[in-house]
Amino acid sequence: MFSFKQIILTNYFCCINITFIKKTLPQPGYEIQRAEVIRSVTGSRKTDRSFLELSKLKLYLLFHGIFIGTVLLYQSVWLFSKTTMAYCYAYNEKQLVERGESPGTLVYHYLADDVMYRETTTRNEIPLSQHQVQVRYLPFLPSVSRLDTFAGNWLGFIITWGIFFVITSMIFFIPNETMPKNSYFYFTKRKPWIHMIVK
């Protein structure tokens, strides 16, 4: 039979051995890495190796600047376009009118470089009795054309920008937890390239 003193000593050495094994064996779990952040002059924290810092408002304006700049760049291509008259008619006009519906698609044919092209677009309230319309096409790509009207030249972009404006305004200016008020965005040269930090 073991004495009470021997039992206590045995338990003590067992605890020491278990503690030693835990320290020597690799432990499962998650490795905590040092975050790459530095403290700026104002006391805020920002991502290391960032080359551009933008607030919510500046990022919002940047998105719209890129969108508008892209549209203007595309529109500048049409400065080299040519115009011609095209024969047009409403698609499926007879059947739709008989059903009391207004045709929404306009079909037009135009001649460019001795080649006849056929295109379709929205009618934009062009009278059904009208069968001549001026179109604009690219001389280096004659199959690309559009109506030479305000609706044909600008309406699609205005509608697209309006939708983009509403969506981005809701994301950036309606209070939400995803993008708090004092959010700042930092652009880096490696993934994920954009970091958001709340000051």
In terms of Cα–Cα distance, which of 52, 54, 53, 55 is closest to 173? 55
pLDDT score of 31 more than 60 = no
Q: How do the domains of the chain map onto residue ranges? A: 80-147
Tell me the mean pLDDT in the region 145-150: 94
Residue 71 predicted with pLDDT over 50: yes
pLDDT band of residue 19 (cuts 50, 70, 90) is low
More confident residue, 97 or 9: 97
Q: Determine the pLDDT at residue 132.
A: 94
Is 97 in contact with 103 (CB distance < 8 Å)? Answer: yes
Kindly state the average pLDDT of the residues 73-96: 91
**Cα gap 148→84, rounded to integer Å:** 9
Query: How much is the mean pLDDT over the chain?
Result: 79
CB neighbour list of residue 36: distance below 8 Å, 6 or more residues apart? 47, 48, 49
What is the model's pTM? 0.66
